[in-house]
Structure 1
Amino acid sequence: MEHQPWKRIELKAFGGPEELHTVLQAELPEPGPGEVRVKVLTAGTGFTDTIIRQGQYVDVKDKPPFVLGYDWFGVVDAIGEGVSGFVPGDPVADMSVIGGYTQYLCVAADRLVKAPAGLDPAAAVCMILSYTTAYQMLTRECTLKPGDSILVHAAGGAVGTALLELGSEMGLKVYGTASSAKHPLLTELGAEPIDYRNEDFVDVLMRKTDGRGVDAVFDTIGGKNWSRSYRCLAFGGKLVAFGALQVTTGEERVPALLWGFAKLLVLWRILPDGRKTSFYNIHTRRQKHPEEFKADVETLFSMLAAGRLSPVVAQRRPLEDAAAVHREIDVGAIAGKVVLDCWAG
Structure 2
Amino acid sequence: MRAVVIREPGGPEVLEVREVDAPEVPDGHVRVAVRFAGVNRADLLQRLGFYPAPPGAPQDVPGLEYAGVVEATGKGARRFAPGDRVFGLLAGGAYAERVVAHEREVAPVPDGLTDEEAAAVPEAFVTAYDALVTRARLAPGERALVHAVGSGVGTAGLQIARALGCFVVGTSRTQDKLDRCRELGLHAGIATSGATFAGEVLKATGGAGVDVVLELVGGAYVGEDLKACALKARIALVGLTAGASTELDLRELLRKRVELFGTVLRSRPLEEKIAAAQVLERNISPWLASRAVRPVVDRVFPIGDAAAAHIYVASNASFGKVLLQLGG
Tell me the TM-score normalised to structure 2 length. Answer: 0.89
Matches within 5 A, 1:57-96: 57=51, 60=54, 66-96=60-90
- Inter-partner Cα distance in structure 2 for 1:206 and 1:32: 53
The equivalent position to 2:103 in structure 1, one of 97, 109, 126, is 109
Structure 1 pair 310–187 and aligned structure 2 pair: CA distance change class (3 A): same
Equivalent position of 2:326 in the other structure: 342
Q: What does the per-residue CA deviation read over 1:117-152, in whole Å, with 9 as the maximum and x for residues that have no partner?
A: 553112112221100111122211123333221111
Mapped partners of 1:287, 1:268: distance in 2 = 38
Deviation at 1:232, TM superposition (A): 0.7
* CA distance 1:291–1:33, shift in 2 (3 Å): closer
CA displacement at 1:21 relative to structure 2: 0.8
Moved more, 81-90 or 53-62: 53-62
Instruction: Tell me the equivalent position of 2:11.
Output: 16
CA contact (8 A) 1:73 1:93 kept: yes
Structure 2 match to 1:282: 265
Map 1:305-344 → 2, pairs under 5 A: 305-343=289-327
CA contact (8 A) 2:40 2:63 kept: no
Aligned to 1:206: 202
Note if contact 1:91-1:117 (Cα within 8 Å) is conserved in structure 2: no
CA 1:199–1:224: 2 relative to 1, 3 Å: closer
Shift of 1:81: 3.0
Alpha-carbon deviations, 1:216-235, whole Å to 9, x = none? 11112123211111111001
Q: Report the CA distance between 1:163 and its aligned residue.
A: 0.8
What RMSD over aligned residues (CA atoms) do the two structures have, in Å? 2.6
1:216 equivalent in structure 2: 212
- Contact 1:93/1:115 (CA < 8 Å) preserved in 2? yes
* Alpha-carbon distance in structure 1 between the residues aligned to 2:261 and 2:125: 19
Work out whether 1:296 is the aligned partner of 2:279. Answer: yes
Distance 2:270 2:58 in 1: 24
Give the TM-score, by structure 1 length.
0.85
**1:146 aligned onto 2:140:** yes
Query: Does structure 1 conserve the Cα–Cα contact (< 8 Å) formed by 2:159 and 2:293?
Result: yes
Question: 5+ unaligned residues in a row in structure 1: which ranges?
Answer: 1-5, 248-253
1:297 aligned counterpart, secondary structure: helix
Counterpart check, 1:40 vs 2:23: no
Is 1:239 equivalent to 2:222 in the alignment? no
SS of structure 2 residue aligned to 1:240? strand
Pick closer, same or farther for the CA change 1:329–1:268 going to 2, 3 Å: farther
Residues in 2 aligned to 1:227 and 1:215: alpha-carbon distance in whole angstroms: 15
Give the conservation status (yes or no) of the 8 Å contact 2:62–2:92. Answer: yes
What letter corresponds to residue 244 of structure 1 in structure 2? L
Cα gap change, 1:108/1:145 in structure 2, threshold over 3 Å: closer, same or farther?
Answer: closer
Residue pair 2:217, 2:241 contacting (<8 A) in 1 also: yes
1:14-61 deviations in Å (ceiling 9; x for gaps): 221111111134x64432333322101110112122122222226646
**Aligned with 1:271: secondary structure?**
helix
- SS of residue matched to 2:323: strand
1:3 corresponds to which residue? none
Q: 1:250 maps to which residue?
A: none
Count residues with an aligned counterpart: 325
- Segments of 5+ residues of structure 2 without an aligned counterpart are none
Letter in 1 for 2:10: G
Change (3 A) 1:285 1:229: farther
SS in 2 for 1:303: helix
- 3-state DSSP of counterpart to 1:155: coil
Distance 1:214 1:270, change over 3 A: closer
Partner amino acid, structure 1, of 2:325: D
In structure 2, the CA distance between the partners of 1:291 and 1:34, relative to structure 1 (3 Å rule), is closer
**Mean Cα displacement is larger for which, 10-19 or 136-145?**
136-145
- Residue 133 (str. 1) matches residue 127 (str. 2): yes
Q: Distance in 1 between matches of 2:53 and 2:266?
A: 8
Q: Is the Cα contact below 8 Å between 2:88 and 2:277 reproduced in 1?
A: no
**Structure 1 residues 268, 189: CA separation in 2 closer, same or farther (over 3 Å shift)?**
farther
Contact 1:268/1:276, CA 8 A, preserved across alignment: no
Q: Any conservation in 2 of the 1:268–1:277 contact (CA below 8 Å)? A: no
